[in-house]
Every structure is written in C-alpha cells, then in structure tokens.
Amino acid sequence: MRFFDNKNVNQQMPQKEAQMQMLKWIWSVGVNVLSRIWNTVKTFFSLHYCPSRVAKVLLAIVPFVLLLGTYIHFSNKRHEENPRDKILPTISQMYEQVKIYVVETDKRTDKNLFVDDTLASLKRLLIGVSIASVLSLIWGLSMGIYPWVRSTWMPFVTFVSIIPPLAILPIIFIGLGVEELGKISLIVLGITFLMTRDLKIAVENIPREQIVKALTLGASSWAIVYRIIFPQVMPRFIEMIRVYLSPAWLFLIAAEAIASKNGLAYRIFLSRRYLNMSLIIPIVFWITSIGFLMNFILKKILDWKYRWYVDIKNG
Amino acid sequence: MSAAREENHVIYCLDMVKAYGANVVLDDIDFKVSRGEFVTVVGPSGCGKSTMLRLILGQERHTSGTMLIDGREIYHPDVTRGIVFQRYSLFPHLTAMENVMIGKLFTATCLELLGSMETSRDEAMYYLKKVGLEDDAKKKPHQLSGGQQQRVAIAQALIMKPEILMMDEPYGALDPYTREDLQMFILEVWEETGMTIFFVTHDLEEAVFLGSRVVAFSQYYSDGRHGLKHGARIVSDYDLGRSIKSTEVKKSPAFSDLIHRIRHESFEPKFCQSVKAFNQTHPDSFMTLTEEQGAVAAEVVESI
C-alpha cells in the first residue's frame, strides 16, 4: 500500500514537493538566523560577554552621546520657544562667551581672566594637596611603623577625619581669614586625615615577613623605613593622591564659591548671578579636563617609576 | 652538662613554654641542636612548628623556660639567623641583584659604603652565579618563577653567612620537579657551607629526604593531664646521618617505612603516646619531666 501511495504522490505532485522543500529550507534558515541573533543578544546581556576592542570603544561612547543628544534636544526645544534662552545655551552661545573670557583682557583689572582664574585655582589646589601629602606621608608612615605614634594619634585621626570639613569652614574662615590661607587650610584639613589613615593602612599591609627579613639582613630601624617601607608605600601613595584630588577640588570650589576674588569656581558662581550658563558649562568642562590631565600624569608616573607595582597589581 | 658540650649546640631549649594567654602552643620543650645539623621539622597543622621557628628567629619571645641561641638569649631577629619564607622573602621593588646585595648595604658603615659598592656587587654576583641566576640579575622578583624567587631568597640569606639558616615551608608553593631541584640545591649549599639549617615543612617525604635529623612536633600525646589542653611536644626525633642522599633513596622501602612511622607517631590524632614512650633516637634529644608528670606518665605506661 505504502509503495503505491508514494508512487502516486511522486508522479502527481513534483511541483508541490519542490515548493514544500523550499519552504522548509526558508524556515530552517530563518530559525537558524533568529536563534543566532537570540544567542548573541543573550550573551551580550550575560556576564560571559567579552567585548572586543572596537565594542569597548563603541560602548564607552554611548553615555556621552546620550548626554550630548539629550542636551541638544532640550536646548533646541527651548530655543524654538525663546531664541534668547539662557538656561540651556547653544554651542554658538557658549562659543561667544568663551571667546570673551579666554581671549579678551578684562578692562577693569587689565588681566586675562581665564589665565588668572586658572592659575589662582591651580595654585591653591596644588599647594593644598602638596602640604596634605607631606603631612600625611610623615604622619601616616610614623603611625604605620612606630607603635607609640599609632597608639597616640590613631584614635585622634580617626575621630577628626569623620568631621565634615565643610562644617568647620566657618571656623576656618573666622580663624584664618578668607584669603589664601583660609582656602588652602580647608583643602589641607579636608584630605590630610583621610590620607594619613590610608597611608597607615598601606604601611601595615606590607607583609610582616619583609620587616623580619630586613632585620635578619642587619637593617637598622631607619634603613627599614627608607629602604623597605618607603619605596613600597610610594606607589600606593601616588594612587592615593589620584583618589584624593577629587575631594581636594570639592573643597577648593567650596572655598572659592564662598569668599574669593578670583579662581575658576569664583567665576562659575559669579556667572550664576547672571544666569550665564554659556560660561558656566565651558568652565566646568575646563575643570574636568584639568582633573583628567592630572589623573593621567599621575598614572603615567606610576607606570614609569613603579612598573613592578603596576605589574603585580595587574597579575 | 659540661660547658664544652654546651658550646657546640647552636640551639638549646630547656623546659621552654610558649603560650598565647591561656592557649599553650609549645609545652615544655627540651631541644638542642649541634652545629652543622640539617634539622627538618614536621608536625600536624597548628602544632606550633612555625611558632618554634619564630622563637628561634627572635620574632617572638618564649613565655617561660630557657632558650639560648649560640649560648645567648635573643630578643630580635638579627644577622646570625637567616630566613627564607614561603612568600614575601624578596623585596618587590628591588632587582634580584639588589635583593642579594641589600644585606651588605645594610651592614656597611658609611665609610665602607663609599668604597665597597663594587665589592658588594661582586659578592652578590658570586652568590647569584652560585644559585644559577646570573643572567636574571636585573629582573624584579615578579618577573622570576617561583623556584627562581626562592633561589634568590636563599642567596640573599647566604651572603650574610648566618649561623643558622631558617626555612619556613620554603618549597610549599613549588611544583614537584622544581621542588626536587631545589632540594638538591639546598643539600649542596649545606654540604659546602656546613651551616646549621632549621627547615620547617609539612611534606614528610621532603623532611626525611633532606634532614640529617627529623624532629616531629605533635599535640597528640598523653602525659596524664586529662581534660587539660596541652601544647605540642617533640614526639619523635630521628638521626638520619649527615651523608648526602641521592634522590633514588626516595624509592627505597626503608625510606617509606620511616615516613609511615613518623606519620603514625605525630600526625594521627587517635594515637596518643605516653610522654615516656616517645621515639627519641637522636643522640642530642633529651627530655626532662617534672616529678608529677613523670609519675603520672609512669602510671600510664604501666597501665598499658
């Protein structure tokens, strides 16, 4: 019976058969493609996804494009309603303001305000961070090394580092004045204690074996400090400065916002009075660029001078 | 004991106890080591063999009893006792060369430092050659393999010509081939320098192969003090002779017999020997018991 049936079908409908096979083929290709796409999507959102170099760059660009796109969209919308809108200025509006700020000299003070502000802010920031670094280095190292220093100062440093520095800003300004001393002091007080605490931990993280080994090689206490501990803490210290530059900026901006005659943050807060967003946004961008550059330089120093540390950290 | 014999013992402990608060780690240790001995120390985890090493090193102080190194009390680690740890022996920020040389720089006076940089460098190079790493002198420790790192660490200790070379599970992290390689190496060093080596390991085979004397610590023994937590003692102490063995010996039945015996005596929690029955065949081994301990122990032995 079967034999007969098959024979009949073959003879009668060769065309239909071909169509069926075609459909089957299209179906299987479709299923294949879809399942591949589905798998790719599934992998992409899973924790097994390994982005290629190109994919990494593309993914990294996404948030920036989103931010810029959103801004331009809303800026355009506001400018359609009111061409003189100041809240979300267009690129050309910003360009106008930046040109005045960067290129022209101020008539009243006969200075280039951009250069003057940048140098003033950088001076405060760098002096503040330098003083904090030296203080915390000496203090943190001694705390990590000498038990009596640790016992004397650790509870104090822990306690003081919890005080929000901005809360004592009025005290600093009343006590030390609103001039450079007050501003730099705020930065120093803001980060020194935290850096000291971190440095002490960095010293303690050096394996005990290293100290014992140095002693069996005849090292004096002083030699252990400057030949073993100091060189090993240095790279961690540089990383620490990278981290604490952010709070240092915070305190600088706070100090300049409240009482100052120049500085990048002073300019921002001055512009705020006139709702001059066209200048505020570029200055924020400029501050970010400076911060980015500092971070980059410190990273390069680490790569160049402390290769062993970077290599060990990266495994 | 005569003074002359005493002088010949680099390590001498009598009734030594080490306790952390109420927790007794080492209980009434009697132990002495002759000059030039290769002592390997084994024992179950937590039996205090590393504590013993730290005491000899001077990193910690014993709680009571006597402990003399070269006939004197010690309070801190110093140049008479070199150390090779399992990890962290090398300074990560220095090259292999600088790591070996640094001991010379530490001990040089200011005047010497001006003149002797070259001599120190030559001496460091001599030791690096000896450990077969003259080509890697400029590498930092993280660029060396585990075995190479330990070789540099040994060279680093040797350059100070210590009385005792202490080693705390130095080969614990190495693969079997490198391990055997370094075992032969340390035996060569021992033969050449004739120094005393105190080698802590948890590998019984390594201990029996390397040691001229194998000392087993254990907290599993009975001295009649039921219900009391007691610290570890030396439960067996074998004299294996000072001749250098070839690796072939590891295959011999006598070798594996000894390993099994030590494992039984020291590592088995259920096997609690009486203090009187300890297998202490080494001529240097001795044990003093308090009258009370002795009496109770004797009873235990009789009852068995």
Q: Cα separation of A120 and A114, whole Å?
A: 10
**Rounded Cα gap, residues B43 and B49, in angstroms:** 7
Least confident range of A267-281, B40-54, B220-234, B254-268: B220-234
Q: Which residues contact B302 (CB under 8 A, 6 or more apart)?
A: none
Q: Is the pLDDT of residue B72 over 90?
A: no
Which pair of tokens denotes residue B66? 């006597």
The CA distances from residue B214 to A299, B50, B132, B263, in Å, are: 52, 15, 29, 12
A222, amino acid identity: W
pLDDT for residue B228? 57
Distance CA A245, CA A241 (A): 6
pLDDT tens readout for residues B177-214: 888 888 888 998 898 888 999 999 988 888 888 888 88
What is the chain B residue with the closest CA to A220?
B106
Asked if B170 and B9 count as a contact pair (C-beta separation under 8 A), the reply is: no
- CA nearest to B165 within chain A: A216
Using the beta-carbon criterion (under 8 Å), do B57 and A219 form an inter-chain contact?
A: no
CA distance to partner chain B, nearest, from residue A48 (Å): 30
Token digits of residue A53: 């170099």
pLDDT at B304: 44
User: What pLDDT is attached to residue B5?
Assistant: 47
Please give, rounded to a whole number of angstroms, the shortest distance from the CA of A157 to a CA of chain B.
29
Instruction: List, in order of start, the domains of chain B with CATH numbers.
Output: 3-80+170-303 (3.40.50.300), 88-161 (no CATH)
Residue B245 per-residue DSSP state: P
* Contact between B250 and B297 (Cβ < 8 Å): no
Q: CA torsion A205→B86→B196→B124, rounded to 10°?
A: -80
B57–A216 C-beta distance less than 8 A: yes
pLDDT at A38 (0 to 100): 94
Q: Is the ipTM of this complex over 0.90?
A: no
Residue B187 to residue B192: CA distance in whole angstroms: 9
pLDDT at position B105 is: 84
pLDDT band at B64 (very low <50, low <70, confident <90, very high): confident
Q: Which residues pair with B236 in a beta bridge?
A: B216, B279
- The packing angle between helices B146-158 and B110-130, to 10°, is 130
The whole-number pLDDT of residue B229 equals: 66
Among A213, A306, A311, the residue with its CB nearest the CB of B83 is: A213
By percentage, how much of chain B surpasses pLDDT 90? 12
CB < 8 Å to A237, chain B: none
Residues A278 and A94: beta-carbon distance below 8 Å: yes
Give which of B69, B9, B3 is closest to B36, Cα–Cα: B9
Residue B160 to residue A217, Cβ atoms within 8 A:
yes
How many degrees, rounded to 5, is the angle at CA A15 between CA A10 and CA A16? 80
> Given the DSSP bridges, would you call strands B233-239 and B196-200 parallel, antiparallel or unpaired?
unpaired
Under the banding of pLDDT at 50, 70 and 90, the label for residue B41 is very high
Give chain A's residues under pLDDT 70: 1-13
The pLDDT assigned to A26 comes to: 93
Asked whether B213 and B237 are in contact (CB, 8 A), the reply is yes
State the average pLDDT over residues B227-238.
Answer: 76
Helix (H, G, I), strand (E, B) or coil at A13: coil
- Across chain B, what does the average pLDDT equal? 82
Residue B87 distance to chain A (closest CA, Å): 8
Q: What is the pLDDT of residues A288-300, one digit of tens each?
A: 999 999 999 999 9
Q: What is the mean pLDDT of residues B61-74?
A: 86
Residue-wise pLDDT tens digits, B122-144: 888 888 888 888 888 889 999 99
Q: Pairing state of beta strands B9-20 and B164-168?
A: unpaired
Please give the pLDDT value at position B290. Answer: 63
Q: Give the pLDDT score at B126.
A: 87
Strands across the sheet containing B23-34: B23-34, B9-20, B64-69
Cα A83 off chain centre by = 35
Torsion angle, alpha carbons of B225, B228, B230, B236, to 10: 40
The answer to whether A213 contacts B81, with C-beta atoms less than 8 Å apart, is no
Contact between A212 and B157 using a beta-carbon 8 Å cutoff: no
Which of A129, A149, A165, A176 lies closest to A295 in space, CA to CA? A129
CB atoms B160 and A218 under 8 Å: yes
Cross-chain Cβ contact A207/B87 below 8 Å: yes
pLDDT at residue B237 tops 80: yes
Those residues of chain B whose CB sits closer than 8 Å to some CB in chain A are 57, 59, 76-79, 81-83, 85, 87-89, 91-93, 102-103, 105-107, 140-143, 156-157, 160, 162
- Of A151-165, B13-27, B264-278, the range with the lowest mean pLDDT is B264-278
Work out the burial of residue B248: count CB atoms within 10 Å of its CB; fewer than 13 is exposed, 13-18 middle, 19 or more buried: exposed
Pick from B77, B103, B142: CB nearest A212: B77
**B25 pLDDT tier (thresholds 50, 70, 90):** confident
d(CA A211, CA B150): 17
The whole-number average pLDDT for the span B45-56 is 87
Mean pLDDT of B218-247: 75
B179 within 8 A of B205, measured Cβ to Cβ: no
